[in-house]
Amino acid sequence: MPRLQPLRAEHAAAVLAFERENRDFFAASVPDRGDAFFAEFRARHEARLAEQATGAIAFHLLVDEDGEVLGRFNLIDIADGEAEVGYRLAEKATGRGLATSAVLELCTLAAECYGVHTLRAETTLDNAASRAVLARTGFVPTGTADFAGRPGLTYVRPSTTPAP
């Protein structure tokens, strides 16, 4: 069964492969990362690890038994007991409940390991799968958002919202 692991230096090649393999799939529902992301990946990966060491973010990977990255599940802007959740799941891993279980696991980690009691999230309106994951994991819509010109919604999951 795939499990969340904290992002580590040795994950670089597997994360890059995950991002390349799923680039078109992701771009269908979220703004594309752009060519610079891939060209500068090694430096970006090292920068993310350095940022993670400060405690301001916590990156996690959903990794299968063979070490393949199936998803990224992150806590961003951790401060004052709050953080933003971000995630992406490989196309071949969709439809199996993996995103829902990983987001629930991330919510538990947020509280138990990072002292986060309120989680926020955003997604584009046309990303029905992400909206469904957020609803199944206790997030409630709070407003609208703009993703590089694409309409979206904002969500919150306060500690008082029980997980399903």
CATH code of the domain containing 141:
3.40.630.30
Interior/surface letters 51-82, b for 16+ CB within 10 angstroms, e for the rest:
ebeeeebbbbbbbeeeebbbbbbbbeebeeeb
Q: Is residue 77 part of a domain?
A: yes
pLDDT block averages, 10 residues each, the chain of length 164: 94 94 87 84 94 96 94 97 96 96 96 94 92 96 90 87 48
Q: Is residue 70 part of a domain?
A: yes
Using alpha carbons, select from 12, 78, 10, 5 the residue that is nearest to residue 44: 12
- At residue 113, the pLDDT reads 93
Range of the domain at 135: 3-158
- Number of folded domains that form the chain: 1
Q: Is residue 163 part of a domain?
A: no
Q: Is residue 31 part of a domain?
A: yes
- At residue 110, the pLDDT reads 95
* Strands 69-79 and 150-158, bridge-based pairing: unpaired
- At residue 161, the pLDDT reads 46
Q: Is residue 14 part of a domain?
A: yes
Q: Is residue 164 part of a domain?
A: no
Using alpha carbons, select from 85, 4, 9 the residue that is nearest to residue 52: 9
Looking up tokens 């940022």, which residue turns up?
51
- At residue 29, the pLDDT reads 79
